[in-house]
Chain A
Amino acid sequence: MDSKAIYERLNKVFRDVFDDDDITVNANTTANDIEDWDSLEHITLMAAVQKEFKVKFSMGEIASMKNVGEMVQIIEKRAK
């Protein structure tokens, strides 16, 4: 899967989770850029992303993700 396709699907997940159709994420997007993205909603986001790409992040991966770009890198490596 190329990263463009991943970003497209990721966008859809973000829009569903935060119920906001104006969201467009890129590699540098972080929690600071999206108003409702707090530690509690982060859990929902992680669950939804893992379901979408049928991957399971390890605890270490979840803890170390700094931005959306790093999330995409992990998905690229692992998604089927």
Chain B
Amino acid sequence: MKELEYPFDSDCIIKKKRSIKRTLIADGKDRLRKKIAVFGGSTTHDIVVCLELFLLDQGIEPEFYESEYAQYWQDAMFPSDELLNFSPDLVYIHTTSRNIVNYPSVSEDREQVAEKLEREYAKFEQMWKKITETYHCPIIQNNFEMPFYRLMGNRDCSDYRGRSNFVSRLNQLFYEYAEKNEGFYINDINFISASYGLRQWSDPSYWNMYKYAMCTEAIPEFSFNLSNIIKSVFGKNKKALALDLDNTLWGGVVGDDGVDGIQIGQETGVSQSYYEFQCYVKSLKDIGVILTVCSKNDRENAIAGLSHPEGALKPEDFIIIKANWENKDRNIIETANELNIFPDAIVFADDNPAEREIVHTQVQGVAVPKMDSVENYIINIDRSGYFEVTNFSTDDIKRNEMYKANAERTAQQASFADYGEYLLSLDMKAVIDDFIPVYLQRITQLTNKSNQFNVTTKRYTATEMEDVYKSDEYIRLYGKLTDKFGDNGVVSVVIGRIDGDILNIDLWIMSCRVLKRDMELAMLDRLVERAAERGIKKVRGYYYPTAKNKMVRELFGGFGFEKIKEDYEGNTVWELNIDGYEKKNNVITVEDNSSLTN
């Protein structure tokens, strides 16, 4: 919704929050339902109201539990039955520097202050551990904003007795915990308050009158920032950035001005701004964002512009280059198809408002950041939080290489008459085995990102996956696929729950980048093998239809399972007798975990 896209009009959101909510709910979109417990150290009412708007806009329908005023610690440590029954999918702890009780005083020595720091920190750590034990769900914790006055002036930040110094050190302890604990995320209010302006942010009248720890005008920005973490945790991040060229990646029109005439590099302020933007885009690639081009240009002009010696980006940084005279909405849809992602995972960056409008109206769900002037490009894309990083795996770093290799595979496919022959030519090797700790993060990430090749669309948080990993109730498999073009990383996960001599398939997912490679057959072979070892007689598969997973409706049927149940919503149950099962994969060489150490 336009009103909720960055840069938004906060006053308008605050004033019209009711009608905005009404409009969002009336659109009838299918949303992910999530239960969020908010533990507040100050008033949280409008924070929750605004958070709900942003989450609805990002495809999540939240249900909230809000602790009574300032009862965050009590609620976390001694949960009520109401809270236990609520059973949150995520806990958010809204504390601020107003909640620090053990601030140092100038008469204290180093040890006394260190002790206070420890005591303050311990209170939080104890709470996080308790929450993790009780709910096994992700936690979002605010760090602390700088105090609004400085008793010692500038010295307050460097002296161990200063409040600013104390807050910085406490923040540092929080970050150390975040580094060590998956599923624990910091909501960086220190940044957001600084960016908003600490002077306005911490206007004491809001605390003293309403017990808000920030001015209410700042709440939309605050809640938006928070919603980005939540939507990322629940797998709603964008995946690709499709960029226009002329006046987006460089100043001027390469077709008219020639390569020598475009503005990029170090010569002028404008060309430096474009260069800085190119550098930013290039680093997005490093966090796993797929880059593509979507430009009305002749292809050779586009390539020439991208090959400009002063530019930071090069043609090979892009997985797909659509430089033609087709309408951009068509190019965006084709880009999505070629990448095997949904159009709503694309961000389209173009300086031309008319192009943005046509893409926005013709392709549902594509994000179109405002690109009004080059000096705002980075801020507008960055603050929109499209690519908010919550888990960062090595796969993210390598994603662009993998998509590139995919494009090469497609090219080779064309030269084979027989598809089986082509598959054999890929020299595919897979490791298919029980989970191992080094891949847990990627496995969890995959369960939250896969929408298409996903029979049950069951999602797991990091802590839930940890539990599955530790339990012997399950047969777990991950699959990692390598071929002569490169390593695809972990691309498939199957979780089967043992119930007597029946194995219920809770989860079967695969990344769409390895579709039609027989990887699913290799997974099935291994699953049946492991099931037989555990004395299983029957494997039961479940398919629950969603808007996105039609491609696997007949997955189990294709495997030779028999359909034993179907309801009016299209949910189906399938069964396979594993006695006499014959291996189905003969194009992939399959190994186990021990091969990884070689």
Instruction: Report A's interface with B, CB cutoff 8 A.
Output: 13, 16-19, 40, 43-44, 47-48, 51, 59, 62-63
Judge whether A48 and B14 touch: CB under 8 Å: yes
Give the contacting residue for A44; candidates B14, B22, B208; CB below 8 A: B14
Judge whether A48 and B11 touch: CB under 8 Å: yes
Give the contacting residue for B18; candidates A18, A47, A62; CB below 8 A: A18
A17 to B209 Cα, complex, angstroms = 20
Secondary structure type dominating chain A contacts: helix
Judge whether A16 and B15 touch: CB under 8 Å: yes
Judge whether B11 and A51 touch: CB under 8 Å: yes
A16 to B15 Cα, complex, angstroms = 6
Cβ distance B43 to chain A, nearest Cβ, rounded Å: 8
List chain A residues, Cβ under 8 A from B14: 44, 47-48
List chain B residues, Cβ under 8 A from A44: 14-15, 17, 46, 216
A35 to B281 Cα, complex, angstroms = 50
Cβ distance A6 to chain B, nearest Cβ, rounded Å: 17
Instruction: Report B's interface with A, CB cutoff 8 A.
Output: 11, 14-19, 22, 43, 45-46, 205, 208-210, 212, 216-217
Cβ distance B484 to chain A, nearest Cβ, rounded Å: 61
Cβ distance A20 to chain B, nearest Cβ, rounded Å: 9
A18 to B46 Cα, complex, angstroms = 14
Judge whether B216 and A16 touch: CB under 8 Å: no
Judge whether A63 and B209 touch: CB under 8 Å: yes
Judge whether B209 and A19 touch: CB under 8 Å: no
Judge whether A47 and B217 touch: CB under 8 Å: yes
List chain A residues, Cβ under 8 A from B205: 59
Cβ distance B374 to chain A, nearest Cβ, rounded Å: 31
A51 to B9 Cα, complex, angstroms = 12
Closest 4 interchain pairs by CB? A19-B18, A48-B15, A40-B45, A51-B11
Cβ distance A62 to chain B, nearest Cβ, rounded Å: 7
Judge whether A17 and B15 touch: CB under 8 Å: yes
Judge whether B46 and A16 touch: CB under 8 Å: no
Secondary structure type dominating chain B contacts: helix
Judge whether A43 and B216 touch: CB under 8 Å: yes
Judge whether B16 and A16 touch: CB under 8 Å: yes
Give the contacting residue for B209; candidates A13, A48, A62; CB below 8 A: A62
Question: Which residue from chain A places its CB closest to the CB of B217 in the assembled complex?
Answer: A47
A7 to B485 Cα, complex, angstroms = 71
A48 to B46 Cα, complex, angstroms = 14
Which among A13, A44, A62 has the highest number of chain B CB atoms within 10 Å? A44
List chain A residues, Cβ under 8 A from B17: 44
Cβ distance A60 to chain B, nearest Cβ, rounded Å: 10
The answer to whether A13 and B18 touch (CB under 8 A), given A40-B46, A44-B216, A59-B209, is no
Give the contacting residue for B22; candidates A17, A19, A62; CB below 8 A: A19
Question: Which residue from chain A places its CB closest to the CB of B210 in the assembled complex?
Answer: A43
The answer to whether A16 and B209 touch (CB under 8 A), given A43-B216, A44-B14, is no
A40 to B45 Cα, complex, angstroms = 7
List chain A residues, Cβ under 8 A from B15: 13, 16-17, 44, 47-48, 51
Q: Can you identify 27 A-B contacts, CB atoms within 8 angstroms?
A: A13-B15, A16-B15, A16-B16, A16-B19, A17-B15, A17-B18, A18-B18, A19-B19, A19-B22, A40-B45, A40-B46, A43-B46, A43-B210, A43-B216, A44-B14, A44-B15, A44-B17, A47-B11, A47-B217, A48-B11, A48-B14, A51-B15, A59-B205, A59-B208, A59-B209, A62-B209, A63-B209
List chain B residues, Cβ under 8 A from A62: 209
Question: Which residue from chain B places its CB closest to the CB of A39 in the assembled complex?
Answer: B210
List chain A residues, Cβ under 8 A from B217: 47
The answer to whether A47 and B22 touch (CB under 8 A), given A13-B15, A17-B15, is no
Question: Which residue from chain B places its CB closest to the CB of A59 in the assembled complex?
Answer: B205
The answer to whether A47 and B216 touch (CB under 8 A), given A13-B15, A40-B46, is yes
List chain B residues, Cβ under 8 A from A47: 11, 14-15, 216-217
A40 to B209 Cα, complex, angstroms = 11
A44 to B43 Cα, complex, angstroms = 13
Cβ distance A76 to chain B, nearest Cβ, rounded Å: 22
Cβ distance B213 to chain A, nearest Cβ, rounded Å: 13
Cβ distance B538 to chain A, nearest Cβ, rounded Å: 55
Cβ distance A51 to chain B, nearest Cβ, rounded Å: 5
Cβ distance A5 to chain B, nearest Cβ, rounded Å: 19
A56 to B212 Cα, complex, angstroms = 18
The answer to whether A43 and B19 touch (CB under 8 A), given A48-B11, A48-B14, is no
A22 to B216 Cα, complex, angstroms = 27
Which among A13, A18, A19 has the highest number of chain B CB atoms within 10 Å? A19
